[in-house]
């Protein structure tokens, strides 16, 4: 409800325009105003119903020449405010105005307003209400409410128009029969359903906890102990037996709502109704009953864990005798808040379509199986009945009944190995008349064998659980098509979309039974797109030769089926193995397909795989080329070493960067940015070692510095593989402090010209740093190199590393592979 349109009408001189002016101005206007005011639109104010956005008030004239305009406005209005002010205008309410409204076919609520109440004597006011208003309200059902007002005294002006808004948003006519002073049957039915849904323990009473939950759901606030006592006392005064220690019964609940209506508080009843998704005509909202739920092609709908949990709880609640089965009374109790059994259940002859116990009562297994089948075949029916039964979603992202359902992954027809992502599968059982299809469905439901033949005319369905190898269970639907077999098999799109496996049955003792199957497959070639199971029934009887072009074994062999037909009898206990075999064929369709030529889709898939392989190979080649291209040549490395000739400055810069960096992986990358490849640098360092011994230039010292860093990288990786720590920040903070202090010593030595001492001290500092425990980086890719590298040992000894420290990291090198990620080392 967006806009409420109020038509103010009545005899001339009753104060219609004064009421409107007093509402708009807030005070009575003493000056003369025009006879008919223009249309007035007012925004919502405090006290306006929540679902009213704007209110439009239309003033009218009662003159005969304006009767056409009056009729037009009456038909456009949502509510009528009928004003009278004296005895004459009061008489015309019943003699003219209300019959006139009926003659126009206007069926909207009427609020009767006795204006100019300031002219009445105080002692006669209440008597006038009883004598004037109540008889009219009894005679004319369209009168919603009555009120006395005074535009001069500004009395009940706002209230008069509020009653008009209330009459539209909270109509009384669907709820209450004022002539009989009772709630209408439709309202009683709705309130009974609400009581049933709120009675969580199904004991027929609303206890204090259930009343509290009802209060929070409808009104969103807590019910105090005092208010609860007052409610019970109010009911007890009229119906003493309706309030017991167990709570309030149905009669007391209905009586309480009747009192709300009779006292003019019918908005309370409407708040309750709308909290349970009811519309103004006391029907459930269409969006609530049928929410949007689309099932894509090659997918199916199944109950979610929340849906199964709700149905299990409902079963346990209504199984009053705790015998593990639902009898007729208990089923009637479950479906009390619904229109009755779903039509599809009646068509399937429920409960004979599912599992029952020896007494014929539906078991929990059969209850869940029946709902699983309903969800599979008609998910909208399941959603509708879940709404009727009171399913509540606790998922904030999906508060509707669709939270009780889930959609399976798309299942396309492919012959490659793999399981389908379904827990409910459908199998069509086809075969010649008298082949034993009905007996097979009875055996599926663990029922006895009836030797007499009864032809199946209407389609018949059976659903039960099947335990697969490994302990997993699924629900399987066996469908005997009956006279609808040609129509169902001819609908190729629907058949391939819904059916998971097809079972071909024949009577192994009837020589004319098998010939039906080749004819059927020839008539409907698309059946080859379905997983197939061939079953020879009545194997307990003498097998006979089939009058067909090919015998069953030869026919299945020609089709290259995985095996010959399965010979079983419904009288054998091993019949259950057949159902497991059918379910496995549905869950793994590749095991039940005949080996036919690959279809167009398979060819396109092969081309797609080939093209994908070529693309992947090309991408791998590009990656390898980039890695090789990133490798730095000897001349480039020499140039880079010249740029970093002053080792102490480079090392100090690294120490500062290392101190600021609390991430191990980033620090490692910064440290290694001068070295493109550890082995490459180590090999190059051999030549520069001879130059250093012969008083080489500063350039060779720079090259040796790079070699030292490559050694450090190897040590670092081995230490990382063997040791791990939790607090990365603290360790690196300590390391950076040590490095920074050593860097100062290196600087002083370099200024004194002792470059060899600088190099030795750098080696000692770095080796000590790397032999301390350090955490590994999160993502590292490695290339393995030999466990023992003679060049590493040579350089470390040549640089004068301490023996104790040397032994520590040398053991780590021997116990793990030295792995370096090349791309991590080349950082600009």
CATH code for position 335: 1.10.238.10
Query: What is the pLDDT at residue 757?
Result: 52
Average pLDDT value for the chain: 76
Q: Indicate if 142 and 257 belong to the same structural domain.
A: no
Assess if residue 524 is contained within a domain: yes
Assess if residue 615 is contained within a domain: no
The single residue listed with the structure tokens 């082995």 is: 679
54-59 and 3-10: which strand pairing? parallel
Query: What is the pLDDT at residue 408?
Result: 92
Q: Indicate if 295 and 440 belong to the same structural domain.
A: no
d(CA 645, CA 657): 19
Helical residues (DSSP H) of 80-207, grouped into ranges? 87-92, 98-103, 125-128, 134-139, 157-169, 185-198
Q: Identify which has the larger pLDDT, 478 or 639.
A: 478
pLDDT of 778 higher than 90: no
Residue 115: name the closest of 153, 141, 72, 70 by CA.
153
- Choose the weakest-confidence range: 100-109, 128-137, 237-246: 128-137
- Choose the weakest-confidence range: 29-38, 246-255, 381-390, 437-446: 29-38
- Choose the weakest-confidence range: 75-79, 149-153, 650-654: 650-654
**CA distances in angstroms from 479 to 174, 220, 377, listed in the order given:** 45, 48, 12
pLDDT of 656 higher than 80: no
Query: What is the pLDDT at residue 477?
Result: 96
pLDDT of 463 higher than 80: yes
pLDDT of 246 higher than 80: yes
Examine the fold and report which residue of 239, 261, 283 is the final residue of a domain before the chain moves on.
Answer: 283
d(CA 769, CA 671): 12
d(CA 510, CA 616): 58
Query: What is the pLDDT at residue 779?
Result: 35
Assess if residue 148 is contained within a domain: yes
Q: What are 335-353's pLDDT values in tens digits? A: 999 999 999 999 888 999 9
pLDDT of 479 higher than 70: yes
Q: Rounded mean pLDDT of 679-697?
A: 44
How many residues can be counted in the chain? 828
Query: What is the pLDDT at residue 553?
Result: 93
**Residue 499 structure tokens:** 């059916």
φ and ψ at residue 521, rounded to 5 degrees: -70, -30
Q: Indicate if 790 and 654 belong to the same structural domain.
A: yes
Query: What is the pLDDT at residue 642?
Result: 42
Query: What is the pLDDT at residue 263?
Result: 84
**CA count, 13 A, side-chain hemisphere, 743:** 21
Per DSSP, the three-state class of 736 is helix
Q: Rounded mean pLDDT of 3-25?
A: 91
**Residue 496 structure tokens:** 């391939």
**Residue 643 structure tokens:** 């740029």
Query: What is the pLDDT at residue 411?
Result: 75
Q: Indicate if 510 and 389 belong to the same structural domain.
A: no
Examine the fold and report which residue of 265, 283, 301 is the final residue of a domain before the chain moves on.
Answer: 283
Q: Indicate if 395 and 463 belong to the same structural domain.
A: no
**Residue 505 structure tokens:** 């049955």
Q: Indicate if 679 and 782 belong to the same structural domain.
A: yes
Query: What is the pLDDT at residue 780?
Result: 33
Q: Rounded mean pLDDT of 25-29?
A: 85
The pTM (predicted TM-score) of the whole model is 0.67
Percent of the chain with pLDDT over 90: 44
Q: Indicate if 569 and 658 belong to the same structural domain.
A: no
Q: What are 540-585's pLDDT values in tens digits? A: 988 899 998 899 999 999 988 888 999 999 988 889 999 999 999 9
Assess if residue 601 is contained within a domain: no
**Residue 751 structure tokens:** 């200024």
According to DSSP, residue 155 is labeled B
Per DSSP, the three-state class of 47 is coil
Query: What is the pLDDT at residue 607?
Result: 52
The single residue listed with the structure tokens 């509290």 is: 212
Number of domains present in the structure of the chain = 5
According to DSSP, residue 356 is labeled B
Q: Indicate if 468 and 582 belong to the same structural domain.
A: yes
Q: Rounded mean pLDDT of 74-94?
A: 92
Helix, strand, coil content of the chain in percent (nearest 5): 50, 10, 35
Q: Indicate if 264 and 303 belong to the same structural domain.
A: no
Query: What is the pLDDT at residue 207?
Result: 94
Assess if residue 128 is contained within a domain: yes
Per DSSP, the three-state class of 168 is helix
Strand partners, 247: 244
pLDDT of 456 higher than 90: no
Q: What are 275-307's pLDDT values in tens digits? A: 999 998 999 999 999 999 999 988 999 999 999
Judge whether 223 and 215 are in contact, CB under 8 Å: yes
For the CA atoms of 268, 274, 280, 281, the dihedral, rounded to the nearest 10 degrees, stands at -110
Domain assignment of residue 463, given as a range: 424-592
Judge whether 106 and 80 are in contact, CB under 8 Å: yes
Examine the fold and report which residue of 283, 307, 330 is the final residue of a domain before the chain moves on.
Answer: 283
Neighbouring CB atoms inside 10 A of 386's CB total 26
d(CA 4, CA 1): 8
pLDDT of 256 higher than 70: yes
Assess if residue 430 is contained within a domain: yes
Query: What is the pLDDT at residue 431?
Result: 93
Q: Indicate if 668 and 795 belong to the same structural domain.
A: yes
pLDDT band, very low/low/confident/very high, at 54 (cuts 50, 70, 90):
confident
* CATH number, position 52: 3.40.50.300
Q: What are 695-726's pLDDT values in tens digits? A: 444 344 444 445 444 544 444 444 443 333 33
Write out the DSSP string of 39-70.
PEEE---TTS-TT--EEEEEE---SGGGHHHH
Judge whether 145 and 264 are in contact, CB under 8 Å: yes
Query: What is the pLDDT at residue 622?
Result: 54
Q: Indicate if 656 and 770 belong to the same structural domain.
A: yes
pLDDT band, very low/low/confident/very high, at 265 (cuts 50, 70, 90):
confident
pLDDT band, very low/low/confident/very high, at 116 (cuts 50, 70, 90):
confident
**CA count, 13 A, side-chain hemisphere, 511:** 4
Assess if residue 624 is contained within a domain: no
Q: Indicate if 156 and 244 belong to the same structural domain.
A: no
Query: What is the pLDDT at residue 802?
Result: 41
Assess if residue 798 is contained within a domain: yes
Write out the DSSP string of 655-666.
HHHHHH---HHH
Q: Which of 367-371, 542-546, 636-640, 644-648 has the highest mean pLDDT?
A: 367-371
Q: What are 172-205's pLDDT values in tens digits? A: 889 988 778 899 999 999 999 999 999 999 899 9
Q: Rounded mean pLDDT of 2-14?
A: 90
Helical packing angle, 728-752 and 755-771, nearest 10°: 170
- Choose the weakest-confidence range: 104-108, 363-367, 555-559, 768-772: 768-772
């Amino acid at each position: 409800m967006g806009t409420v349109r109020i038509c103010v009408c009545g005899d001339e001189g009753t104060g219609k325009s004064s009421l409107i002016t007093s509402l708009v101005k807030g005070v009575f206007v003493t000056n003369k105003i025009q006879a008919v005011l223009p249309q007035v639109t007012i925004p919502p104010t405090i006290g306006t119903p929540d679902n009213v956005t704007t209110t439009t008030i239309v003033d009218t004239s009662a003159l005969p020449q304006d009767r056409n305009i009056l009729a037009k406005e009456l038909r456009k209005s949502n509510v009528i405010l009928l004003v009278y002010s004296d005895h004459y205008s009061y008489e015309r309410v019943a003699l003219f105005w209300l019959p006139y409204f009926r003659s126009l076919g206007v069926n909207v609520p009427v609020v009767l307003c006795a204006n100019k109440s300031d002219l009445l004597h105080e002692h006669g006011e209440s008597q006038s209400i009883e004598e004037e208003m109540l008889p009219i309200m009894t005679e004319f059902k369209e009168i919603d409410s009555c009120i006395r007002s005074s535009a001069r005294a500004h009395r009940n002006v706002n209230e008069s128009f509020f009653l008009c808004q209330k009459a539209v948003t909270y109509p009384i006519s669907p709820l209450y029969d004022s002539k009989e002073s009772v709630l209408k049957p439709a309202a009683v039915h709705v309130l009974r359903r609400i009581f049933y849904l709120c009675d969580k323990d199904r004991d027929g009473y609303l206890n204090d906890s259930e009343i509290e939950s009802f209060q929070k759901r409808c009104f969103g606030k807590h019910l105090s102990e005092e208010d609860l006592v007052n409610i019970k006392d109010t009911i007890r005064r009229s119906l003493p037996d309706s309030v017991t220690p167990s709570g309030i019964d149905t009669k007391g609940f209905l009586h309480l709502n009747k009192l709300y209506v009779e006292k003019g508080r019918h908005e309370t009843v409407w708040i309750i109704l709308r909290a349970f998704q009811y519309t103004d005509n006391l029907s459930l909202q269409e969006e609530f009953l049928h929410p949007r739920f689309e099932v894509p092609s090659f997918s199916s709908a199944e109950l979610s864990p929340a849906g199964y949990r709700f149905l299990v709880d409902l079963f346990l609640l209504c199984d009053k005798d705790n015998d593990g089965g639902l009898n007729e009374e208990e089923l009637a109790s479950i479906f009390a808040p619904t229109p009755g059994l779903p039509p599809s259940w009646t068509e399937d002859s429920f409960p004979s379509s599912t599992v029952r116990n020896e007494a014929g009562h539906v078991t929990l297994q059969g209850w869940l199986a029946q709902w699983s089948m309903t969800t599979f075949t008609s998910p909208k029916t399941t959603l509708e009945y879940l709404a009727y039964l009171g399913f509540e979603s606790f998922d904030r992202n999906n508060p509707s009944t669709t939270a009780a359902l889930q959609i399976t992954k798309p299942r396309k027809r492919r012959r490659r190995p793999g399981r389908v992502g379904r827990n409910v599968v459908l199998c069509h059982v086809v075969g010649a008349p008298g082949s034993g299809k009905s007996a097979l469905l009875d055996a599926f439901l663990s029922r006895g064998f009836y030797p007499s033949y009864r032809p199946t005319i209407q389609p018949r369905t059976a659903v039960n659980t099947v335990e697969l190898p490994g302990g997993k269970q699924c629900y399987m639907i066996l469908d005997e098509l009956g006279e609808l077999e040609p129509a169902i098999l001819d609908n190729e799109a629907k058949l391939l979309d819904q059916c998971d496996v097809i079972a071909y049955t024949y009577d192994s003792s009837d020589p004319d039974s098998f010939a039906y199957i080749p004819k059927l497959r020839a008539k409907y070639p698309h059946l080859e797109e379905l997983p197939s199971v061939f079953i020879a029934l009545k194997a307990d009887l003498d097998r006979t030769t089939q009058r067909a072009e090919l015998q069953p074994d030869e026919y299945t062999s020609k089709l290259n089926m995985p095996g010959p037909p399965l010979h079983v009898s419904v009288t054998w206990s091993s019949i259950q193995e057949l159902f497991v075999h059918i379910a496995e064929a549905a869950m793994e369709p590749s095991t039940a397909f005949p080996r036919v030529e690959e279809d167009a889709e398979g060819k396109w898939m092969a081309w797609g795989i080939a093209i994908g392989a070529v693309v992947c190979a090309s991408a791998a080649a590009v990656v390898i080329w980039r890695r090789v291209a990133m490798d730095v040549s000897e001349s480039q490395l020499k140039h880079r070493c010249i740029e970093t000739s002053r080792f102490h400055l480079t090392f100090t810069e690294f120490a500062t960067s290392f101190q600021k960096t609390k991430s191990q992986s980033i620090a490692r990358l910064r440290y290694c940015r001068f070295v493109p490849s550890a082995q490459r640098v180590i090999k190059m360092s051999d030549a520069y070692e001879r130059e250093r011994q012969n008083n080489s230039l500063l350039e060779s010292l720079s090259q040796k510095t790079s070699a030292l860093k490559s050694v450090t990288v190897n040590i670092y990786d081995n230490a990382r593989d063997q040791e791990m720590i939790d607090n990365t920040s603290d360790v690196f903070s300590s390391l950076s402090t040590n490095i920074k202090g050593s860097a100062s010593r290196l600087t002083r030595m370099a200024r004194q010209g002792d470059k060899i001492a600088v190099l030795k001290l750098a080696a000692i500092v770095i080796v000590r740093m790397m032999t301390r425990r350090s955490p590994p980086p999160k993502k590292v890719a490695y290339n393995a190199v030999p466990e023992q590298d003679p060049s590493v040992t040579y350089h470390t000894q040549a640089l004068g590393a301490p023996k104790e420290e040397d032994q520590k990291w040398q053991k780590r090198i021997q116990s793990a592979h030295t792995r370096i990620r090349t791309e991590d080392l080349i950082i600009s």
